């Protein structure tokens, strides 16, 4: 192999190396975007700048020593602080591989049954929590409820959430276009920003912040319909329900 070929091969390897690292950082930024991790990363950058200044510019020995000890254990600290984000990222990677291996056409007609039920419950101010599973499995949460495994219908959903039902306070989870489980317990968000919201809304935010699920919430107090995605919640007008749910449910990251 001549010198030109060697240089060209090394150039390709270096370019591939940069692309891989750039993609990894891009995916990390997507995972932490809009979460408390963003502020933590910003704080670490500031701390890194202080470390460089203290050691190489101002020569503050005691501060440099303390900061060096901190960076020695930084990996463990980051693993503890970002355990939720790390778990989410690894789950997304695994579910992405599974999706490409087992992808099947998605039918959305069942969404209309869910929307009709949500509108009826909104009129009667019946509280409801409906989870649409996407790529990430929700077995940890379906196991907390009662297995139904039935075709989705407006009547079935209304019967589950009517106030005399023993499982009306839990969530229903939709898996592969079927009503998989009902009466499921979801993780409740402990973020200060959502403390003023009800339990159903905080549960929807909690689940959507650690999975890619789309969560539909009907408020028992106001009858308003909200949707929780990626740890964020917004109120949806009834006329926009199908468009909004379809957008989030069919979206592939």
Domains and CATH numbers, the chain: 3-102 (no CATH), 109-250 (3.40.1700.10)
- The answer to whether 154 and 117 have CB atoms below 8 angstroms apart is yes
Pick 212 or 128 by higher pLDDT. 128
- What's the CA gap between 224 and 218, in Å, rounded? 6
Residue 37's contacts (CB-CB under 8 Å, 6 or more residues apart) are 31, 81, 82, 85
- The answer to whether 185 and 170 have CB atoms below 8 angstroms apart is yes
H/E run at residue 236: strand 232-236
pLDDT, mean over the chain: 82
Q: How many CA atoms lie within 13 A of 253 on its CB side?
A: 21
pLDDT in tens, 152-200: 999 999 999 998 999 999 999 999 889 999 999 999 988 877 888 889 9
pLDDT in tens, 80-98: 666 665 665 665 555 555 5
- Cβ burial of 21 (10 Å; 0-12, 13-18, 19+) is exposed
- What's the CA gap between 55 and 67, in Å, rounded? 9
> Cβ–Cβ contacts within 10 Å for residue 159, how many?
14
Q: pTM of the entire structure?
A: 0.64
What pLDDT is recorded for position 181? 95
Mean pLDDT, residues 193-218 taken together: 90
Q: Tokens for 42, please give them.
A: 């910003």
CA angle 71, 72, 75 (to 5 degrees): 80
| Helices and strands, counts by H and E, the chain | 10, 7
What is the edge-to-edge ordering of all strands in the sheet holding 214-218? 146-151, 178-184, 171-175, 128-132, 214-218, 225-229, 232-236
Measuring CA to CA, which residue among 174, 178, 183, 175 is closest to residue 145? 183
Local structure of 95: helix, strand or coil: helix
- What's the CA gap between 170 and 180, in Å, rounded? 13
Out of 106-110, 117-121, 152-156, 220-224, pick the least confident.
106-110
- The answer to whether 216 and 203 have CB atoms below 8 angstroms apart is no
pLDDT in tens, 13-63: 878 888 887 877 776 666 555 555 666 677 778 888 888 888 877 878 888
- What's the CA gap between 146 and 188, in Å, rounded? 19
């Amino acid at each position: 192999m001549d010198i030109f070929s060697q240089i060209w091969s090394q150039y390709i390897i270096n370019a591939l190396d940069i692309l891989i690292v750039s993609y990894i950082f891009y995916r990390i930024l997507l995972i932490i975007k809009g979460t408390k991790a963003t502020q933590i990363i910003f704080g670490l950058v500031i701390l890194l700048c202080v470390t460089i200044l203290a050691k190489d510019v101002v020569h503050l020995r005691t501060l440099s020593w303390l900061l060096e000890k901190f960076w020695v254990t930084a990996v463990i600290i980051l693993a503890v602080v970002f355990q939720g984000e790390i778990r989410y990222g690894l789950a997304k990677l695994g579910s992405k591989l599974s999706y490409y291996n087992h992808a099947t056409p998605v039918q959305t007609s069942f969404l209309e049954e869910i929307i009709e039920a949500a509108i009826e419950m909104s009129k009667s101010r019946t509280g409801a929590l409906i989870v649409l599973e996407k790529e990430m499995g929700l077995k940890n949460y379906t196991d907390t409820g009662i297995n139904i495994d039935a075709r989705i219908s407006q009547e079935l959903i209304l019967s589950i959430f009517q106030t005399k039902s023993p499982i009306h306070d839990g969530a229903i989870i939709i898996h592969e276009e079927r009503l998989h489980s009902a009466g499921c317990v979801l993780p409740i968000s402990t973020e200060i920003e959502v403390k003023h919201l009800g339990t159903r809304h905080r549960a929807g935010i909690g689940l959507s912040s650690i999975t890619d699920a789309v969560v539909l919430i009907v408020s028992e107090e106001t009858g308003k319909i909200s949707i929780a995605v990626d740890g964020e919640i917004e109120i949806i007008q009834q006329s926009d329900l199908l468009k909004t749910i379809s957008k989030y449910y069919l979206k592939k990251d």
